[in-house]
Homo-oligomer: A and B are copies of this chain.
């Protein structure tokens, strides 16, 4: 499973949420399973992009050919400034845009709010043959919704089970679900938000509400802990990636995507027509 010599343990193992997992024990500065440093990480990331692109194209080809119902869905959750955007840009951005379906979930619209919380999610589940990416997701409905009391307690409670059932169905339909929380420390977030305030071309990314959310940091961490306990399943396990070092977080997500695609092991489809006959017909055209 491991894709570069510098991984001593597969990312799928060292990053996966297992029994007894405690978010509070995760060191956001760590680089678990990886022996290299920042420049090694850049080298391995560049190399992985080529492999990821190749696997994605095979997956897409199999789908066009009708030979697969496989697909991949990357679910990205994180506190603000943890690097979701960088993952989309530097990991997913290396893949042919035709093979990617990106869905960014913001605060729900009135129409979305008038439906079950999974209504808008279902519509964005990636088609077979694609790598889908959720930038935030249905987990907001048990994270900010819980911390900010946007829904009654029994409704929040109902949602954990609904998510597990929903994800099982999606996984059973052929979509590998890779759930990732990018984990930064509270101090790191402060430094990153301050950097936004310091640079005029980054100030548009800052919202005074970001500071308000920080005041609920511990509540968010508790809500994430509950999410891991209630929704990490064999079909759709959670991974927590230490993300104070951006290069490691990117490499980690890439490894998880590579592992999902290697598990699918997509193959170039065989031609469903007589190749030699078509060559003759084309030559005469």
A residues in contact (CB < 8 Å) with B: 61, 64-65, 85, 88-89, 92-93, 96-98, 100, 102, 104, 135, 190, 193-194, 197, 200-201, 203-206, 208, 210-211, 214-215, 268-271, 273, 275, 278-279, 281-283, 285
Q: Are A64 and B97 in contact, CB atoms less than 8 angstroms apart?
A: no
A18 to chain B, nearest CB (A): 32
Question: Which of B203, B215, B283 has a CB less than 8 Å from the CB of A285?
Answer: B215
Tell me the complex Cα distance, A205–B270, Å.
11
Query: Which residues of B have CB within 8 Å of A204?
Result: 61, 64-65, 268-269, 271
CB contact between A197 and one of B190, B193, B282 (< 8 Å): that residue: B282
Q: Which chain B residues border A281 with CB–CB below 8 Å?
A: 208, 211
Q: Which residue of B lies closest to A92 (CB)?
A: B97
Query: Quick check: A271 and B97 within 8 Å, CB to CB?
Result: no
Q: Is B278 in contact with A211, judged by CB distance below 8 angstroms?
A: yes
Can you list 20 A-B contacts (CB < 8 A)? A61-B201, A61-B204, A61-B205, A89-B97, A97-B100, A98-B104, A98-B135, A190-B285, A194-B279, A194-B283, A197-B278, A197-B279, A203-B268, A203-B269, A203-B270, A203-B275, A206-B273, A206-B278, A208-B281, A214-B285
What distance in Å separates the Cβ of A88 from its nearest Cβ neighbour in chain B?
Answer: 6
> What CA separation (Å) do A270 and B285 show in the bound complex?
60
Taking a contact as CB atoms under 8 Å apart, the answer to whether B64 and A190 are in contact is: no
Closest-CB distance, A246 to chain B (whole angstroms): 15
On whether the beta carbons of A88 and B97 are closer than 8 Å, the reply is yes
Contact B268–A201 (Cβ < 8 Å): yes
Expressed in whole angstroms, the Cα–Cα distance for A64 and B285 within the complex equals 52
- Check if B98 sits within 8 Å of A197, measured CB to CB: no
Apart from A89-B96, A194-B279, A197-B275, 12 more pairs, CB < 8 Å: A61-B201, A64-B204, A89-B97, A93-B97, A97-B97, A97-B102, A190-B282, A194-B282, A200-B271, A204-B268, A208-B281, A210-B282
List of B residues within 8 angstroms of A197 by Cβ: 275, 278-279, 282
| 3 closest Cβ pairs, A-B complex | A203-B271, A61-B204, A201-B268
Chain B residues whose CB sits within 8 angstroms of the CB of A85 once the complex forms: 96, 98
Q: Which residues of B contact A194 (CB under 8 A)?
A: 279, 282-283
With CB as the reference atom, state the residue of chain B lying closest to A99: B89
A79 to chain B, nearest CB (A): 13
Among A197, A201, A279, A282, the one with the most B-chain Cβ atoms within 10 Å of its Cβ is: A282
Task: Report the minimal beta-carbon distance from A111 to chain B, rounded to whole angstroms.
Answer: 15
